Amino acid sequence: GLGPGPPPGSSSAINSPTGVPPAKASSYPREATLPFLKPKGREHLRRLLNWEEFDEVRDSRRSILLDTLYESIIFAVGKGFPWVEVAEVVKFTEELLKETKGCSITEAVTILGNKLRDYQGQFNTTHLLALCDYFHNTFIRHYKLYQYVLGQDQEVNLTVTHLEVCAPPQPLPLAEGMDRDIWQLEQQVAELSTAEVQKRTNMLLLKEALHMEQDHKLQRKFSEVPGQPSRVLKREELENLISEAIHVQIECLKELLQYEIQITFDILDLKLQKKTLNLKAPIPSPLSITGQPGQDESLKLHKANKGKKAKAKK
């Protein structure tokens, strides 16, 4: 058969989409018996039809068939069919899908007409006409699509990709924010301070390297002195040795002084840049000042600089 499960009328519970036996179905309010959204309603219908659980993505035919049966229930309920007739609509739908499998659209229209005549005893005239309109506007109108999906096996080419979705980080409180111009100024000042510290560190490293080089050169000069350890150096040899040692020290000191002078100029230039940035500090807005110690200091600094400029003009 077309459906993957047993026919809807195979048990008393299936005769009502709510699971209520037919004899009692009409006594239940319709609003109380269909409280489901579509996913829950489809799952409830699947259990009533005694279908096994299936993968909605991989088994698309069964999923579409369940959709078709579910929509027929929604149609019947919306038109005010009694629950007994709603169950008959489900049965009618499944039989129609099964009997029209592989038929032409002309044959399908004929089969639909014959089935409507067969079900005249189960529905009154109004409901029978509504059922006829429903299947003409849905099943017959899209008949080729129904046949393509439900009437033959389809080759499924399914690719499943698991993606990890990372939630965005929790933003910081807005009260802790600051004016963009002030933040940029602080970043520039921090960069200049870092560069100044790096210059001083380089100076210390160079001093250490020059001292090591000086010791190495002196050790090499002393090792070049000929003779036995107990031998007394002549005056001329001693003077030459002292002269060379002094020369080594002077060369190292000269190189160190040159580098210190250059580093000092670089540091002074960095300090001047920091001073210039502080003089150009923007005035933060009143909202961004509240509760921000760093911004308060920037504002005070700006006011102080402004006062200095005014005095200088006088």
Asked whether residue 246 is domain-assigned, the answer is yes
pLDDT computed for residue 3 by the predictor = 37
pTM over 0.75: no
pLDDT computed for residue 29 by the predictor = 39
- Say yes or no to pLDDT of 298 above 50: yes
| Cα 134 from Cα 138, distance rounded (Å) | 6
| Cα 164 from Cα 160, distance rounded (Å) | 13
Q: What is the pLDDT of residues 266-289, one digit of tens each?
A: 888 888 888 888 887 776 555 444
Same domain, residue pair 194 and 113? no
| Cα 295 from Cα 263, distance rounded (Å) | 32
Same domain, residue pair 18 and 121? yes
305 touches 311 (CB < 8 A): no
Q: What is the pLDDT of residues 63-86, one digit of tens each?
A: 888 888 889 999 998 999 998 999
Q: What is the pLDDT of residues 119-135, one digit of tens each?
A: 988 889 899 999 999 99
Same domain, residue pair 202 and 127? no
Number of domains making up the chain: 2
Structural domain containing residue 27: 8-150
Same domain, residue pair 12 and 145? yes
Same domain, residue pair 113 and 218? no
DSSP state of 80: T
Query: What is the number of alpha carbons within 13 Å of residue 174 lying toward its C-beta?
Result: 2
- Say yes or no to pLDDT of 303 above 80: no
| Cα 297 from Cα 241, distance rounded (Å) | 61
| Cα 73 from Cα 70, distance rounded (Å) | 5
Q: What is the pLDDT of residues 217-266, one digit of tens each?
A: 777 777 766 655 556 667 777 777 788 888 878 888 888 888 888 888 88
pLDDT computed for residue 18 by the predictor = 42
Asked whether residue 32 is domain-assigned, the answer is yes
